[in-house]
Amino acid sequence: MLTYQQIRAKGHFSLDGGSLIPSSDVQIEIEQLGSGSTFLYYQEDQELGLLPLIVGTGGKAFFIGMTDDGFPIRTSNLRGYLGPIGDRSCFSLAHATCGDSTSAYTSVELALTNVIFDQDKHQRCSFAVQVDDSPLVIELVPRDDYEKLIFHMHRTNDPTVTATLRIPLDSVPLDFLDTLSNDFCAALSMVLGRKIQWIHRTAYSAPNKPVWSEMGETKTKNPTHRQLCFNPDTGAGIHLSIHDVVSIFPRVREFRQGYDAVHRILYSWLDARLQADFLEARTLKYAVVLEGLCHLVESQHDDIPSTRVPKSEWRATGKEFLPRIKSHLEGLHRINAEAAKDVCNSANWGNLNRAGFRTILAACLQKLGISMLDGAKRIRRFTDVRNKIVHSFRYLTTDDFNELNWPAITETQQHFLVACFVDEVMLRLFGLGERIPDSLIDSFKAHSAGN
């Protein structure tokens, strides 16, 4: 995996109690990989023999000092001792900051992983967006060695920093910067169909004059293919332009504010798109995306028909009849008293009243304003495969096809039918439903003819 940056510094390690190890300064090096993983090294001949033991037994120690470039640096607590490598000791880190993050600045640059530009690979992109009713022009620039980095990313399938995001901002609070950065990365991720994440950011008071920088504790993912609603039988799919981020960005922010504060649905969808797992696990991940989406929508809308009988009436019925059922079961010689108690608890009673997932999904999609071609049949087909995978971790079989009036299709076709359905939901959720041609959906409908 490629190294993104290295920092040399001199200082000391400090424990939570304030004591130093050792009392004299030591030389260290911090390395950040393209995945965002960060490590701290020091020469083993320095007087730090107790540090691995302290960290390994749960002690909290961090480094504080000065970089070779003259910036004060402070790290998070050392996560773990990884052992010696040559004549150096290695620790893992979550976070490090150089300079004073409270200093005034006029712009921020972020190092982004997994960005692949459209066609002209060296073309910088400018995006004019609205942030809290204020116009903002954000620039995305490929790194100087972009082609080499893209080749490395394709060859190794490792997350790699391929672009720089430039945001003109005047000293906004860090939580505002975090939200803006994460929203834009989420919008780019939706467009490119893979997890785009920043791993490092630098604030500037003037061009080429940094005032602070930060190695962030962010979660990256391996790159995935870009096509959405992909049909392996025809090779057809949907390829969005990177400039679609302008229209998606406000929808991403709106959905975050209304439903999903940390982009859980979008990121779980991106995780489902990874090709590293075996097929059943990937299908299950796609099913989890819509499970999570339904839970978020249900939590915000009391009128979603999540129960068959109103909850108050169902609870009252349970209070009336559960003691009788429990008494009856306990009177049967073959029924264990503890088993009767478990069966008749209020949680199990509530689960009996839960509406089917198919009903809830249809209602949630309607609440979100998502309308799909031949929606009722396709929801049924999606939930048929979903139910089989969730409950038995298997795909539909010949017996299932006969019972459900399905044509016989392969396990791979079942997986991509599910994946296409979820991809389409995501596209429509973020305002790109018009990009889905009916002909593409028709090619999947051929796999699910019948009732």
Q: What is the pLDDT of residues 178-188, one digit of tens each?
A: 999 999 999 99
Which residues, in sequence order, are bridge partners of residue 136?
129
pLDDT at residue 173, as a whole number = 85
Q: Please state, for a pLDDT cut of 90, what percent of the chain lies above it.
A: 57
User: Across 21-25, 168-172, 338-342, which has the greatest mean pLDDT?
Assistant: 168-172
Q: What is the DSSP letter of 355?
A: P
Integer Cα distance of 72 and 99 in angstroms: 5
Compute the distance between CA of residue 413 and CA of residue 406 in angstroms, rounded to an integer: 13
d(CA 204, CA 211): 6
Burial 277-291 (b: 16+ CB within 10 A, else e): eeeeebbbbbbbbbb
Task: Give the side-chain half-sphere CA count within 13 A for 322.
Answer: 18
Residue 120: per-residue pLDDT: 57
* Spatial separation of the C-alpha atoms in residues 25 and 59, rounded to whole Å: 20
Alpha-carbon distance of 365 to 289, in angstroms, equals 13
Task: Look at residues 17, 18, 28, 19 and name the one whose alpha carbon lies nearest to residue 75.
Answer: 28
Distance CA 253, CA 169 (A): 18
For tokens 């690979």, the residue is 121
What percent of the chain is predicted at pLDDT more than 70? 96
Check pLDDT > 80 for residue 441. no
Name, of 57-61, 143-147, 289-293, 400-404, the range with top average pLDDT.
289-293
Q: What confidence category does residue 436 fall into, taking pLDDT thresholds of 50, 70 and 90? A: confident
Average pLDDT over residues 434-445: 77
Cα–Cα distance measured from residue 71 to residue 137, given in angstroms and rounded to the nearest whole number? 29
pLDDT on residue 4: 92
Q: How confident is the model at residue 122 (pLDDT cuts 50, 70, 90)?
A: low
DSSP letter (8 states) at residue 377:
H
At residue 404, what is the residue type? L
pTM beyond cutoff 0.85: yes
Q: Which of 124, 273, 252 is nearest to 188 (CA)?
A: 252
Residues contacting 360, CB < 8 A, separation 6+: 294, 298, 304, 305, 306
Tokens of 232: 């392996």
pLDDT at 354 over 80: no
DSSP per residue over 329-372, as a string?
A: HHTSTTS-HHHHHHHTSHHHHHHHTBPPHHHHHHHHHHHTT---
